[in-house]
Amino acid sequence: MTLIKYTQPDRDIFGKRFSDIMDEFFNDALETRRNTFTPSINISETEKQFVIDVEVPGVDKKDIDLNVEKNTLTISGERKFEKKEDGKQYHRVESHYGSFSRSFTLPDNVDIETINAAYNNGMLRITVDKSEQSMRKQINIK
């Protein structure tokens, strides 16, 4: 079966061609980025720690690396596209695949020995405790 593109009568030919050109431009631009992607990250702070949530659905936890060097936390890994050859032909793939790497400079008031990471349902949660010395202390005025 061959798919035939439907054209509406009385439609502006220039607009159609311009649209096709833009589609090709953006599809080609995306094609060059297929080997990398950037996971979404949320960073929050409580009184006692920093919390970093990384969205990495479809990534196995064994494919994620977490390193700290000179107060820089680096999260890297890879989401693999497993194309199974069972007669299926892809017409559009909008999911991002490939390697990723995100780095963050940790503030001076953290204890890097307390970094913990947990992976659950495509979410990587990293917690970093604040150091006891830098905790705020209310001082009563006498």
Query: Which residues does residue 51 pair with via DSSP β-bridges, in sequence order?
Result: 44, 127
* Residue 63, domain extent: 37-82+96-133
Query: Each residue of 72-122: pLDDT tens digit?
Result: 999 999 888 777 677 777 777 777 788 899 998 988 888 888 999 999 999
23 part of a folded domain:
no
27 part of a folded domain:
no
Rounded CA-CA distance 114/74 in Å is 16
Query: Each residue of 24-79: pLDDT tens digit?
Result: 666 655 554 557 778 899 999 998 999 999 999 888 889 999 999 988 999 999 88
Q: What's the token pair of residue 28?
A: 């080609």
102 part of a folded domain:
yes
CATH number of the CATH domain containing 116? 2.60.40.790
Total structural domains within the chain: 1
Rounded CA-CA distance 118/129 in Å is 15
> H or E segment at 105?
strand 98-105
pTM: 0.66
